[in-house]
């Protein structure tokens, strides 16, 4: 590829994914969607956040709620907190 050519577009470019998962399998799967070009928005509980924030081998990071497990599985994502049990939170996640 020469300098004037554009790099190929990623397979999932233009796709938005709402990541409502927690801890391991879901965040790992959505990480791969992000790596393939999807815009992944991670939604966390405003009270506790993702449990993985407290998991990892570096206790200082765990205390800062940035555990290595969380960092490894949630790179390339946007994130927000949202109470999905509230009426307002439910309205934001539906097309109604």
Return per-residue pLDDT of the chain as tens, 96 residues. Answer: 566 788 788 999 999 999 999 988 999 999 999 999 999 999 999 998 999 999 999 999 999 999 999 999 999 999 999 999 999 988 888 876
- Two structure tokens written together for 95: 């097309």
**Which segments of the chain does DSSP mark as H helices, in order?**
25-35, 59-63, 68-73, 87-92
Cα–Cα dist 88/43, whole Å: 14
Extended beta strands in 2-96, E state: 16-19, 39-44, 77-81
Cα–Cα dist 67/72, whole Å: 9
């Amino acid at each position: 590829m020469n300098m004037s050519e554009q790099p190929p577009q990623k397979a999932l470019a233009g796709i938005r994914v709402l990541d409502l998962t927690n801890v391991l399998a879901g965040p790992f799967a959505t990480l791969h969607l992000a790596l393939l070009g999807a815009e992944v928005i991670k939604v966390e509980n405003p009270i506790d956040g993702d449990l993985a924030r407290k998991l990892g081998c570096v206790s200082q990071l765990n205390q800062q709620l940035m555990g290595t497990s969380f960092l490894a599985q949630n790179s390339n994502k946007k994130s927000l907190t949202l109470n999905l049990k509230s009426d307002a939170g439910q309205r934001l996640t539906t097309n109604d």
